[in-house]
Amino acid sequence: MDELKALGKPFDISKWAVQEAWERVKANQGSAGVDGVSIREFEKDLKNNLYKIWNRMSSGAYFPPPVKAVEIPKAHGGGTRVLGVPSVADRVAQTVVAGVLEARVEMIFHPDSYGYRPKRSALDAVGVCRQRCWKYDWVVELDIRKFFDSVPHDLIVRAVEANTDLPWVVLYVKRWLVAPLVLPDGTLQDRDHGTPQGSAISPVLANLFLHYAFDAWMARVFPAMPFERYADDAVVHCSSRGQAERVLAAIAERMGEVGLELHPDKTRIVYCKDG
C-alpha cells in the first residue's frame, strides 16, 4: 500500500480484479455504449485498455462516461422500459466494484431474496412460493413502481457505506449514480435518483437497498410471514385475507418511507386455490 501511495495510487485495487472483471464482461457480451466501442474492438488493445482502467481507478481519477439509454418493449406489453448501457470500459470498472460489494453482502442477504444472486433463479423463487401456497391460503403480490428509476441515491449510498470500509467503493458508486443518461434523441439527462437497469453495478445496489428497505424490515416487523423476493417483485404469504390487507397496508407505508411506491395495478391480494 505504501508503494502504491508513492506512485500516486491512494487506492489498493489489484490488476487481477480488473482482469477478472473483463472476463465477466466479455462472457456477458452486450452492445457498445456511448463511445461506440464494442467488446471486439476493446479487446484489440486489451492490455492497454485494462491498464487505463486500473490506473485511473487506483488513483481516484476514474470518472464514468454517460450511459446510453435504450428503450426496449416490456415482455408482456404495456409500453417500453429504458435500459442503461454503459461503455465496455465502464462495465469493467463497475464489475470490479460489484465483485467487492457482492463478496461482502452475500453473507447478510435474506435466504428468500432470489434476484441477481449466484446459484439462484426466478424458478427457485417460484418453487418455494408454490410450496408455501399449500400452507398459506392468501398472498400479497407486490410490484414496486419504476423501482430502478426511482430509488433514492442517499439511501443507496448509506447502505453501501454500512457494508464496506473501502472509500474507493463508495466514491465510484456515487459517481455511477449521477452519471447522466444519453437519451435516444441524443440529449443528456442528469440523474438525482435511480440506478440504470442494465448496468453491472445496479443489481447489487438494488439488492442491497431492498435488503434494508424490505427483507430485513419484513423479518423484523412480520417474522411469521414468509416471502419470496425477486428484484423489485415479491410475494408475501398470509393466513387470512384480513392479515393480507394489514400486511399490504404496512408494506405500502414502508415503501413510502424509503421513497418508493407500490404499483397500483400490479400489486394485489390473491387467494391460493388448492388445485
Q: What is the mean pLDDT of residues 209-222?
A: 97
Tell me: the pLDDT tens digits for 237-253? 999 999 999 999 999 99
- What is the helix (H) or strand (E) element at residue 221, kind and residue range? helix 216-221
Which of 5-8's residues contact partners 24+ apart within 8 Å by CB, and which partners? 8/59
User: Quick count: other Cβ atoms within 10 Å of Cβ 261?
Assistant: 14
Nearest Cα neighbor of 206 from 123, 124, 84 is 84
Please, what is the average pLDDT of the chain? 92
Distance CA 158, CA 150 (A): 16
Q: What is the dihedral of CA 245, 247, 249, 253, to 10 degrees?
A: -170
Strands (E), the chain: 67-73, 80-85, 138-143, 181-182, 188-189, 227-230, 233-238, 268-271
- The per-residue pLDDT for range 45-74, each reduced to its tens digit, is 999 999 999 999 999 999 999 999 988 877
Q: Which three cell numbers stand for residue 222?
A: 412480520
From the list 224, 217, 227, the residue with the least C-alpha distance to 258 is: 217
pLDDT of the residue at 77: 59
- 6's enclosing H/E stretch is helix 2-6
**What's the pLDDT at 197?**
85
Decide: 33 and 67 in contact? Cβ < 8 Å: yes
Average pLDDT of the segment spanning 74-90 = 81
* Residue position matching grid coordinates 391480494: 269
pLDDT tens digits for 21-49? 999 999 999 999 999 999 999 999 999 99
pTM of the model as a whole: 0.91
- Residue 258: the pLDDT is 97
pLDDT score at 6: 45
Domains in the chain, please, with CATH?
122-149+205-271 (3.30.70.270)
> pLDDT (tens digit, 9 = 90+) per residue, 4-17?
554 567 899 999 99
User: How many Cβ atoms sit within 10 Å of the Cβ of residue 218?
Assistant: 22
- At residue 78, the pLDDT reads 64
Instruction: Give the C-alpha distances (Å, rounded to integers) separating 135 from 124, 128, 190, 225, 255.
Output: 18, 11, 48, 12, 27
